[in-house]
Amino acid sequence: MSVVAVYVPAASKRNFQIGLRESIWGWKHDTAAKAETPQVLAGLKPGDYVLFGHRGPNARVPQGQWADAVLRELAVAQVTGAVYQDEAEVWPDDRYPVRVRLNILDLEATVAGGQLGDAAMEAFRLSANKQGAPVPVADPEVMTRLVDSIEHQPGAPGATAPVVGWHGPSSPQNQDRYLELGDNLDRPVVALARREQARLRREKFNGRSSIRCDLCGRELPQGLVRAAHVRKRSQSNLEQRSHLANVMAACVLGCDALFEDGFIRVSSEGVVEVSEKGAACTDLLVVAKTLEGRRCTAHTPESAEYFDWHWNNWSVPSEAGAVQAGDAGRLSAQRARSPGGPRR
């Protein structure tokens, strides 16, 4: 596992926000071609980390002068594929065709040099002087140090934070809400912990001791009900993962696993159905049939696109997981629409 630092200046704030939202980053050809940058980009592989530093001090200073600097924002991302070239428009001011797909793990505000270490801060200073080119961090402990520093911030791992309404007021009745993108969604450790899980449960279930499963309708102790993503979490970008409409209550008595693995699905009318995958196993079909025809209480106008994604991409064996995490909105496919299902 390698770690590279990329500096994003204050003037590129909008591009930075777009990159986080779309889980992608890019460089101009001339930036990607300078000095050792081609080798750094070619060496990036899935699982490597990219640290994005945003809004630091003046970078035209001697080596080591950023050791105590402060970055106003730090994004931690993990590479999900090889560097590639694409001219499709993502950012409004330029193409930035040398690109890499990312999984945005964490977004921190106001990170001091001591939290990252001298090597990481020097890599950020160098990146700032190289028009944001990726610079390797010569410190194998940088991720451990960063995790430790985040862990010891006041209230860090599960602090209560406001929920903001991106498309409507923040109210218990309005499911079209998101966890604030500035809050931590993962911890950058070798075995990634879902930092947002406790937050999602708190916001979705309001601390209730018993919760009704949205699929089977049983009222169960809270420990037997998961805050489950409708659109598979690994196939969701930062915005989709934080959208409360993308989360439903699914019990561990079978519903969570059946939906997670695509053996059951929810139609565009909000009705639970057995998928082709579920029908292929006789014993599993007996269990899945007990849910067929039930109304899924998590299906709303705000969540419909996520259930459509699950139907089109996760309950059909030959096409499971075919869509990139950055895709947004309702999905369309070329095959015919089945009765009661999403428009496909």
The CA-CA-CA angle for residues 306, 309, 312, to 5°, reads: 150
Two structure tokens written together for 344: 């496909």
DSSP SS3 for 203 = helix
Q: Assess whether pLDDT exceeds 60 at residue 332.
A: no
Position 18 scores a pLDDT of 94
Q: Which helix (H) or strand (E) holds 249?
A: strand 247-251
Q: How confident is the model at residue 200 (pLDDT cuts 50, 70, 90)?
A: confident
Q: Which helix (H) or strand (E) holds 111?
A: strand 98-112
Q: How confident is the model at residue 247 (pLDDT cuts 50, 70, 90)?
A: very high
DSSP SS3 for 272 = strand
Report the share of the chain in percent with pLDDT over 70.
77
Q: Please provide the distance, in angstroms rounded to a whole number, between the alpha carbons at the two ends of the chain.
A: 40
The Cα–Cα gap between 240 and 173 comes to 19
Q: Which residues contact 181 (CB under 8 A, 6 or more apart)?
A: 20, 21, 107, 238, 239, 242
Alpha helix (H) residue ranges in 302-344: 304-313
Q: Assess whether pLDDT exceeds 80 at residue 179.
A: no
Position 342 scores a pLDDT of 57
The Cα–Cα gap between 97 and 90 comes to 10
Closest alpha carbon to 227 in 254, 208, 202: 202
Higher pLDDT: 11 or 324? It is: 11
pLDDT digits (tens, 9 = 90+) for 103-133: 888 888 899 999 999 999 999 999 999 999 9
In the chain, where the domains are located: 3-151, 208-319
Q: Which helix (H) or strand (E) holds 241?
A: helix 238-242
Decide: pTM greater than 0.85: no
The Cα–Cα gap between 279 and 285 comes to 5
Higher pLDDT: 167 or 12? It is: 12
pLDDT digits (tens, 9 = 90+) for 64-105: 999 999 999 999 999 999 999 999 999 999 999 999 999 888
Lowest mean pLDDT among 73-77, 151-155, 162-166, 295-299: 162-166
Amino acid identity at 339: P
Closest alpha carbon to 31 in 128, 120, 124: 128
Closest alpha carbon to 222 in 237, 235, 212: 212
Looking at the DSSP bridge assignments, the partners of residue 3 are 49
The answer to whether 54 and 73 are in contact (CB under 8 A) is yes
Range 3-151 classified under CATH 3.10.590.10: yes
Lowest mean pLDDT among 74-88, 149-163, 306-320: 149-163
The answer to whether 181 and 107 are in contact (CB under 8 A) is yes
Two structure tokens written together for 202: 């708190």
Higher pLDDT: 121 or 174? It is: 121
- Angstrom CA distances, 174 to 166, 169, 216, 282, stand at 11, 7, 23, 40
pLDDT digits (tens, 9 = 90+) for 216-231: 999 999 999 999 999 9
Q: Assess whether pLDDT exceeds 60 at residue 253.
A: yes
Higher pLDDT: 146 or 168? It is: 146
The answer to whether 25 and 86 are in contact (CB under 8 A) is no
Mean pLDDT of the chain: 82
Find the largest Cα–Cα distance for the chain.
Answer: 70
Report the share of the chain in percent with pLDDT over 90.
63
Q: How confident is the model at residue 151 (pLDDT cuts 50, 70, 90)?
A: low
Position 292 scores a pLDDT of 96
Looking at the DSSP bridge assignments, the partners of residue 178 are 164, 243
